[in-house]
Amino acid sequence: MSRQQRCDLRNGLLFVSPWLIGLVAWELYPILASLYYSLCEYSVLTPAAWIGLDNYRDLFTDEVFWKALSNTGFYAAFALPLDLICGIALALLLNTKVRGMVFYRAIFFVPSLVPMIALAILWLWMFNAQYGVVNYALGAIGLPGPRWLVDPAWAKPALVLMSLWGIGRAVVVYLAGLQDVPVHLYESADLDGASWHHKIRHITLPMISPVIYFNLILGIIGVMQVFAVPYVMTGGGPARATLFYTMYLYDNAFTYLRMGYACAMAWMLFLLILGLTLIATKVSERHVYYAGK
């Protein structure tokens, strides 16, 4: 390297050094430290003691761990498809050309800006079995309202329904994808006499499939890490019906001070999300269409 090249390299490293320091101090070190502590018995208050894979072995015999995992799986199995379907349907409706469409789009997007804690308290009152507006609306049409958050059979479905409140961000992404669908494809379909549902199935969905895939991956990450709303609303109850994976992880780390065990849970969650993401990517290879390929 010439003297000028060495000078340029030094100056470049100096400019990126704040980012490199932040990456090492706030991301790389915590990741490596959590991996090490997952192999230790560590309570924060005492030095870490190496125990190998014992924390991971204990996970497979922990009944509460499997309960939390099954609750999370139930929530993911219903909330994720429901959010995808409703998000696409809303985006299609909001993509029509009617007067005041900007106002309607804002109505569906604004709820996603509500802070999680305020949202949880709001829905806590809405799901109240005696005075909640949800049961009042059901009673107005002659349907008995369930005891949403105090009945183990209805607590998770209530949270699944509540997840629709925040689909505004996904709808905005779908709308952006819909704007890129070539108009001439719809015009050709109209000339061939295609119905509206044929156009959605054979034109709209294939053309926005990359956007659907993007929201699917974000949705997988989101539903597997659900925490704030159920933690505030139910605290894991009733009868651990809403004890999700991240809530049990939090309890182990900061309530029981089993930091090593919590780190092992965190790495298991990482592997689970990674596996689901790889499966979704593999399955979508035949269904995602990229223009130009």
pLDDT on residue 2: 86
pLDDT at 166: 86
The reported pLDDT for the residue numbered 252 is: 96
pLDDT digits (tens, 9 = 90+) for 136-183: 999 999 988 899 999 999 999 999 999 998 899 999 999 999 988 988
The per-residue pLDDT for 293 is: 58
Instruction: Give the residue from 162, 4, 28, 189 showing the smallest Cα distance to 83.
Output: 162
Q: Which two tokens stand for residue 41?
A: 């018995």
What domains appear along the chain, each with residue ranges and CATH number?
55-284 (1.10.3720.10)
Nearest in space to 219 (alpha carbons), one of 38, 83, 41, 63: 83
Instruction: Count CB-CB contacts under 10 A for residue 289.
Output: 12
In the chain, DSSP finds a helix count (H) and a strand count (E) of: 16, 2
d(CA 11, CA 8): 5
Please give the pLDDT value at position 291: 67
**Distances in Å between the alpha carbon of 104 and those of 23, 168, 171?**
41, 11, 12
Which residues neighbour 49 within 8 Å (Cβ) at sequence distance 6 or greater? Answer: 40, 41, 42
Residue type, position 10, single letter: R
pLDDT of residue 292: 57
End-to-end CA distance of the chain: 41
Task: List, for the chain, all residue ranges whose pLDDT scores fall below the cut of 50.
Answer: none
- The answer for residues whose C-beta is within 8 angstroms of residue 223's C-beta and 6 or more apart is 72, 75, 76, 79, 80, 163
Can you give the pLDDT at residue 180? 87
pLDDT value for 65: 97
| Cβ(87)–Cβ(174) below 8 Å | yes
Prediction pTM value: 0.91
